[in-house]
Amino acid sequence: MDVQILTYLFVGASFALYIGIAIWARAGSTKEFYVAGGGVPASANGMATAADWMSAASFISMAGIIAYVGFDASVYLMGWTGGYVLLAMLLAPYLRKFGKFTVPDFVGDRYYSNVARTVAVICVIFVSFTYVAGQMRGVGIVFSRFLEVDINTGVVIGMAIVFVYSVLGGMKGITYTQVAQYCVLISAYLVPVFFLSFQMTGHVLPQTGFGATMLDAAGNDTGVYLLDRLDGLVQELGFSAYTEGQKSTIDMFFITAALMCGTAGLPHVIVRFFTVPRVRDARTSAGWALFFIALLYTTAPAIGAFVRVKLIDTVHETAYKDMPQWFYNWENSGLIGWVDKNGDGKVQFTAGAPFKGKPTFQGENDDESARGTHGERLLTNEATESTNEVYIDRDIIVLATPEIGQLPGWVVALVAAGGVAAALSTAAGLLLVISAAISHDLIKKTINPNITEKGELLAARMAAAVAIMIAGYFGINPPGFVAQVVAFAFGLAAASFFPVIIMGIFYKRMNKEGAIAGMLTGLIFTFAYIVYFKFVNPAANTADNWLLGISPEGIGTLGMILNFVVAYAVSTVTPEPPADVQEIVENIRIPRGAGAAVDH
């Protein structure tokens, strides 16, 4: 069967499944809409948490960064997985016992202030919209290639699907949809790399193939280790060694810490611990989630290395007319570009930036006047003086793996469905958090405490609908590639939420004045730093100009430190929290008597 038909079948069947689950699990109350009624089994919640957690950045972009950056990309592996452990072990059980299923709700009650609650709502909106932009962009990238529509149209299709099952089903529908999405995305991620690992090393498991010796075309062991082969290839082409890092130690540390602490402050992951019946179930589901997450994260370095070797062997010094079909397919989607700088008709895949920014193509796919001498799509942006002639978008590495490895058509279709599942699962969780922050924390708790449950549910659905529209805009006009955008979201979460949650649980003297001052300081500082270097003056975005040598991806750690310092300093010179609040802080650290979440 034709690959395109298979793709439509796989993606269409997955959409039908998600929408069917949303209809079956339609939320009929605010508790079902916000926390799925608090009755999800621990194993199912662990799988849903993993799907919520492993976004388009994990599925689509992380292996692409590893493929291109090598050692320096380890910050994503260490930061994201380490952060989940930090959240599951240090914060989740205490937040679960506190009984508030949104971060602003925790902040508002712990710091006895609607002002603090409102500041937390603003932080949620900043963090979640930054994060969701990457997810919607990921959906657009998948659709642009596999459904043969442009990226913007793909974003709109993704918006429509998310709208149906998040607005209709709420957390109840999203939870069971995410269980299905996890099954789809993990199958789509593992199956291609099993094939590649066996082809290249004779090992079925990519985790062992990553450290194994390679096979030649006849299947004989060459005695050359995969990473040694990759180091040799990239250095011959003028790149730095794959296994050696280029980032400074301080920047590596700050990026990793920002990702870890940002993870522990992510509101859409925290809320998942309220969908189970008891605190014990929250701990159990955290363990299940870690197992499900590890399946993908221990595979990502292998897929990055395998595909980088395949890319170089396939692309470099190959005549454009002899390129495999996948190269032309991705070129037509606008995610690969080639310019023949020396006129020899061959693709030179060497060090250096091939274009000023991403390639911008002339005309449409099928416009022959926009094609060059060799049939390549012509570019409107000027090529640099670099010898590199080809641009390959990092976000296509996983999606193109089945084609690069010449795998069966059904594997290509499965990966398309998996990429969509990864982006949609996280997008839905984030949109629900935005919806809850507006309807529950802003309207119910601050503006109109007397609103009926029916009115609050309507407000939640309307807020989710508006959030989807805004998310779609950011997906069409993203501030960077998928994983980079997500890294900014983690930095903002680290700088705003992590200190007030930690100090709210473990420091009784922490008061509302300190919390408000700390959150605002961390958020404003981090946001301003990122905006300056990424939008206001991107030409200055170099290590020489960074504060203390810290990149925008890592600045959230410094923002977090400022938050801690300001919050502590302000709380020491302002009145202590009321005695009942201090007693609550004391009680939530005692595991006995931990029961169900408060029914809102």
Residues 465-517 have pLDDT tens digits of 888 888 788 777 765 554 556 667 778 888 988 898 889 888 889 999 999 99
pLDDT for 357-411, tens place per residue?
Answer: 677 888 777 777 788 888 888 888 877 777 788 888 887 888 888 888 888 888 8
Residue 460's pLDDT is 79
Answer CATH for 3-212+226-307+408-588 from 1.20.1730.10, 3.30.1360.180, 1.20.120.80, 1.10.472.10: 1.20.1730.10
State CA 157 to chain mean position distance. 19
Residue 518 has pLDDT above 90, yes or no: yes
Residue 29's pLDDT is 59
CA nearest to 433, candidates 52, 47, 25, 81:
52
CB-based contact 296:59 (threshold 8 Å): yes
The winner for highest mean pLDDT among 160-169, 258-267, 494-503, 585-594 is 494-503
Q: Return the ∠ at Cα 13 (arms to 7 and 15), rounded to 5°.
A: 100
Helix (H) or strand (E) run with residue 392 in it: strand 390-392
Q: Return the ∠ at Cα 352 (arms to 354 and 74), rounded to 5°.
A: 115
Residue 596's pLDDT is 47
Burial of 595 (0-12, 13-18, 19+ CB in 10 A): exposed
Per domain, the residue ranges of the chain are 3-212+226-307+408-588
Residue 101's pLDDT is 64
pLDDT for 413-447, tens place per residue?
Answer: 888 888 777 777 777 777 777 777 788 778 887 78
From residue 278, alpha-carbon distances to 86, 97, 241 in Å are 20, 9, 49
Q: Return the ∠ at Cα 597 (arms to 595 and 599), rounded to 5°.
A: 125
pLDDT for 291-348, tens place per residue?
Answer: 888 888 889 899 989 988 988 888 888 999 999 988 988 888 778 888 888 888 898 8
**In the chain, what percentage of residues exceed pLDDT 70?**
90
End-to-end CA distance of the chain: 52
Residue 558 has pLDDT above 90, yes or no: yes
Stretch 218-239: mean pLDDT? 88
Q: Within 10 A of 153 (CB to CB), how many other CB atoms are there?
A: 15
> Which parts of 119-231 are beta strand (E)?
213-215, 221-225
CA nearest to 445, candidates 144, 117, 161, 207:
117
- Six-digit token pair at 99? 């009984």
Q: Distance (Å, rounded) from C-alpha 533 to C-alpha 502?
A: 29
CB-based contact 495:566 (threshold 8 Å): no
Q: What is the 3-state secondary structure (H, E, C) of 329-375?
A: HHHHCCCEEECCCCCCCEECCCCCCCECCCCCECCCCCCHHHECCCC
Residue type, 79: G
Stretch 93-104: mean pLDDT? 74
Q: What is the 3-state secondary structure (H, E, C) of 546-583?
A: CHHHCCCCCHHHHHHHHHHHHHHHHHHCCCCCCHHHHH
pLDDT for 44-89, tens place per residue?
Answer: 888 888 887 776 667 777 888 888 888 888 888 888 788 878 877 7
Strand partners, 337: 391
From residue 384, alpha-carbon distances to 275, 341, 352, 390 in Å are 53, 10, 9, 11
CA nearest to 131, candidates 474, 569, 548, 570:
474
Residue 559's pLDDT is 94
**In the chain, what percentage of residues exceed pLDDT 90?**
14
> How confident is the prediction for the chain on average, in pLDDT?
81
CB-based contact 554:251 (threshold 8 Å): yes
Q: Distance (Å, rounded) from C-alpha 16 to C-alpha 14?
A: 5
DSSP state at residue 240 = P
Residue 166 has pLDDT above 70, yes or no: no
CA nearest to 290, candidates 49, 487, 92, 96:
49
Quickly state the pLDDT bin for 31 (edges 50, 70, 90): low
DSSP state at residue 241 = P
pLDDT for 567-583, tens place per residue?
Answer: 999 999 999 999 888 88
Burial of 76 (0-12, 13-18, 19+ CB in 10 A): buried
Going by C-beta distance under 8 Å and a sequence separation of 6 or more, which residues neighbour residue 495?
522, 523, 525, 526, 555, 556, 559, 560, 562, 563
Residue 48's pLDDT is 83
From residue 72, alpha-carbon distances to 66, 301, 302, 335, 545 in Å are 8, 12, 15, 23, 20
The winner for highest mean pLDDT among 116-120, 193-197, 270-274 is 193-197
Residue 145 has pLDDT above 70, yes or no: no
Q: Return the ∠ at Cα 18 (arms to 422 and 121), rounded to 5°.
A: 60
Residue 247 has pLDDT above 90, yes or no: no
Q: Within 10 A of 568 (CB to CB), how many other CB atoms are there?
A: 16
As a residue count, the chain comes to 600
DSSP state at residue 383 = B
